[in-house]
Structure 1
């Protein structure tokens, strides 16, 4: 897939240059009935807060547990964020990763749990916002 996102910060002073556009490209491949891989690339020529060009590369692997009647998928991903002007952005270039699982409760309801982290230290982040996190979500499609 190919897409574009415009990030807008209404009410922020224009001199801060918070607003920016980002393009993305995502490719996925189903290897067989249980394994799939994905690759992504996001780019912004003029990223948040005058931090210059930004590039994000990611890869993912999914494993569908092959037990009849169990809709369990295990996921793992890793990404690399590169920023032209790290001082303006507020953090150094970094790695992030995520591991988790999704379980189909019904054909259109699922629950997911993930662990996400980065290699940014609390000191480099300036807060605990870059620390490891757990996430649980309930999704319904109709």
Structure 2
């Protein structure tokens, strides 16, 4: 029930009606109502991601609201340099989150396009951090 109440409060805080959020998240308004009123269990990760998108928050925030943790993204781990530490990974996560809404000419990118852009941004992040460290100009 706590998740439903938290979801309802967040929706209201964001200024959405139930129907508006359902439309933004591409889910059934009746399902959303049952979810908010504690008559549905915590949704599947895919539905949580839809809700996050509809509420314009990160999926990490939504998963945390639902009491779930996200495991590290294996696709991004393959780009992680050996010299990178936990703080570097947190900086990368923050960097990617600030570049979260991905559109081109007002059209939202599809999942495959977002993943590719995320891979490129990740590589750029590691390259720039490495340059900063070599030049001694890193700011933490």
- The structure carrying a bigger strand percent of its residues is 1
Q: Calculate the TM-score normalised by the size of structure 1.
A: 0.23
Bigger RCO of structures 1 and 2 (CA < 8 A, at least 6 apart): 2
